Chain A
């Protein structure tokens, strides 16, 4: 489903990713762990098409298509979703309207009929309830005045409504208390199935107790330095990144 080959990327001529190789098969959840500055967020942004980053080498194919040649909205239409580490505030844009506009844009691109306001609200209310979010979150402006935890839950709500085929969760656990973490994990787990894959980026092993990954990869210095099963996360917790990176070198 997702095949990354020798991916290198830089921001303002400063190399960040230095040859990443990674394959996420359909239906699998992979975790990427790594210390600060290892390139985790850069990988997420490059995959979703942010313009500030220059791809300097390598390729990414998504369902056999050349992901790097696509616009961000085309990647979304193909089924890619990025849950932001720092969700963006949109003053003056109502959350419900935003979500309906996004969902209908995706439906249009797939040749499906658009949902009207009533149909959409029925869907959105059900998902809001499932994620234990207050319903007034739909009426408020996107992420404006939301607490850190509410912003993260709003990302998961968007994911639940937009139903991506591959979700990239960029430190969705940071800033969440344990209750919110469980809700977020439940939201992701509910989507798991043969048609859903995820790349879970996290600094800590804690989230992976609730979203148990099929594979864990350790990113350091812009490269994957180790890959393994879920037990790798526990090893990391025990040894720390420094120990792991030194071993790999």
Chain B
């Protein structure tokens, strides 16, 4: 196989032209997405449009990177596979964006279909307004469509992405929970080298259904992880998500969640632990479109080195959405004078009987806590490390499943060990 180097918007369009006849799904949707992507470009790159939604995050490094085409055949590096959690649960594994039957163990009681076979784009994603979703819709090759039938508790399922140097892939996932169904999904992304992982998720939580979605982004430090999720929550349905961002050079975790049935619940919690020159952007839009729904969001950042974090949280409350309970909090600990946080909450409220609050704190370690630890004989450096970990642990407490929490705890420990090394 020959490897053609591609860069920037033009490179992705060339790749589309070369592959379009072989890609699954409706070609008209692909064409429309390609047009949208051509118009929008990559935000922050020279040809990209300047958009408010991308004010703090530039994809110029993505535009400047070169990826290999076609993707090298990668059987699964044993060192990478060794980093996958050893917990007893069914798993769906993708290698460089391609489903791997041999590494996967499919769950019982859940319908699992490949995007490569069906090409189902779903209906929630908006390629016309999101450049990365346009890119994904144009080039998506594989992904999974998961359906949990009515009143089935599918337990824990792992969704794993393993990537290798210079790969670029655009997974397309659809997750559906029928009425009363339950699923706990642990999404895990790891890799080696510089690559692009640009997934789009479409999530539908039916009436009385409950999805717990824990996302551990532990990509290689030179990788790009740009994820966009759309979720639609039914009556009394729950979407409970927690995203932990540890890896990646440029990262965007974007979620659009619509509470469309009464008494729905959405949790969009997260933690970002960054060092070096990492950049991670946590952007969410929660639409309260039905009465008596609640949304909760606590995102904590720990920033060292010259890292940058972005938090953009928007809550929209429609006129019909009386008795809305919305809460949003962004807390940041700056460990270095060169680290940066940009935080932008937005509330747009059209109902009159609602409870919505938001807040942001930025700070250094608490002097009283530090002194207390030191009076107990704990040296200054160790005391600081304890407090930084504690700050993040508080965020992790949102994850209640013990085995999943264990996976996150070990990943955080690994992050500290890498920093110390």
List the interface of chain A (C-beta within 8 A of B): 48-51, 71-73, 75-77, 81-82, 84, 87-88, 90-93, 98, 101-102, 105-106, 109, 158, 162
Chain B residue with minimal CB distance to A84?
B372
Please tell me if the beta carbons of B377 and A92 are within 8 angstroms of each other in the complex.
Answer: no
Query: Of B368, B375, B379, which is in contact with the most chain A CB atoms at under 10 Å from its CB?
Result: B375
Q: Does B349 contact A (CB under 8 A)?
A: no
- Bound form: Cα–Cα A50–B374 in Å: 10
Please tell me if the beta carbons of A48 and B375 are within 8 angstroms of each other in the complex.
Answer: yes
Chain A residue with minimal CB distance to B389?
A92
Chain B residues whose CB sits within 8 angstroms of the CB of A72 once the complex forms: 371, 374-375
Q: 0/1 per residue, B390-409, Cβ < 8 Å to A?
A: 11111001000000000000
Contact A90 B379, CB 8 Å, known A71-B374, A72-B371, A76-B374:
no
CB distance from A231 to the nearest CB of B (A): 33
Please tell me if the beta carbons of B378 and A73 are within 8 angstroms of each other in the complex.
Answer: yes
Contact A88 B376, CB 8 Å, known A93-B386, A93-B390, A101-B386:
no
3 smallest CB-CB distances across A and B, nearest first, come from A92-B390, A76-B377, A102-B376
Q: 0/1 per residue, B357-397, Cβ < 8 Å to A?
A: 00000000001110111111111101100110111111001
Chain A residue with minimal CB distance to B383?
A73
Please tell me if the beta carbons of A90 and B375 are within 8 angstroms of each other in the complex.
Answer: no
Q: 0/1 per residue, B241-273, Cβ < 8 Å to A?
A: 000000000000000000000000000000000
Please tell me if the beta carbons of A90 and B372 are within 8 angstroms of each other in the complex.
Answer: yes
Chain B residue with minimal CB distance to A142?
B372
Which listed residue, B372, B382, B390, B394, touches A88 by the CB 8 Å rule?
B372
- Bound form: Cα–Cα A48–B376 in Å: 10
Please tell me if the beta carbons of A73 and B374 are within 8 angstroms of each other in the complex.
Answer: yes
- Bound form: Cα–Cα A119–B360 in Å: 42
- Bound form: Cα–Cα A48–B372 in Å: 10
Chain B residues whose CB sits within 8 angstroms of the CB of A109 once the complex forms: 377
Q: SS class of chain B's interface: helix, strand, loop or mixed?
A: helix
Which listed residue, B377, B391, B393, touches A102 by the CB 8 Å rule?
B377
- Bound form: Cα–Cα A93–B376 in Å: 14
- Bound form: Cα–Cα A98–B377 in Å: 11
CB distance from A100 to the nearest CB of B (A): 11
Please tell me if the beta carbons of B377 and A105 are within 8 angstroms of each other in the complex.
Answer: yes
Please tell me if the beta carbons of A105 and B379 are within 8 angstroms of each other in the complex.
Answer: yes
Please tell me if the beta carbons of B378 and A102 are within 8 angstroms of each other in the complex.
Answer: yes
CB distance from A117 to the nearest CB of B (A): 16
- Bound form: Cα–Cα A97–B372 in Å: 15
- Bound form: Cα–Cα A49–B367 in Å: 13
Query: Of B373, B389, B392, B393, which is in contact with the most chain A CB atoms at under 10 Å from its CB?
Result: B373
- Bound form: Cα–Cα A144–B372 in Å: 14
Chain A residue with minimal CB distance to B374?
A72
* 7 A-B pairs whose Cβ atoms sit less than 8 Å apart in the complex: A72-B374, A73-B375, A76-B376, A90-B372, A101-B378, A101-B386, A106-B377
Please tell me if the beta carbons of A73 and B371 are within 8 angstroms of each other in the complex.
Answer: no
Which listed residue, B376, B383, B386, B387, touches A162 by the CB 8 Å rule?
B376
Chain A residue with minimal CB distance to B397?
A92
Please tell me if the beta carbons of B390 and A91 are within 8 angstroms of each other in the complex.
Answer: yes
CB distance from B11 to the nearest CB of A (A): 44
- Bound form: Cα–Cα A40–B139 in Å: 71
- Bound form: Cα–Cα A240–B389 in Å: 48
Chain B residue with minimal CB distance to A82?
B375
Chain A residues whose CB sits within 8 angstroms of the CB of B394 once the complex forms: 91-92
Q: 0/1 per residue, B37-71, Cβ < 8 Å to A?
A: 00000000000000000000000000000000000
Chain B residues whose CB sits within 8 angstroms of the CB of A87 once the complex forms: 372
Please tell me if the beta carbons of B378 and A88 are within 8 angstroms of each other in the complex.
Answer: no
Please tell me if the beta carbons of A105 and B371 are within 8 angstroms of each other in the complex.
Answer: no
- Bound form: Cα–Cα A114–B335 in Å: 29
Please tell me if the beta carbons of B375 and A81 are within 8 angstroms of each other in the complex.
Answer: yes
Q: 0/1 per residue, B12-51, Cβ < 8 Å to A?
A: 0000000000000000000000000000000000000000
Chain B residues whose CB sits within 8 angstroms of the CB of A102 once the complex forms: 373, 376-378
Please tell me if the beta carbons of B377 and A50 are within 8 angstroms of each other in the complex.
Answer: no
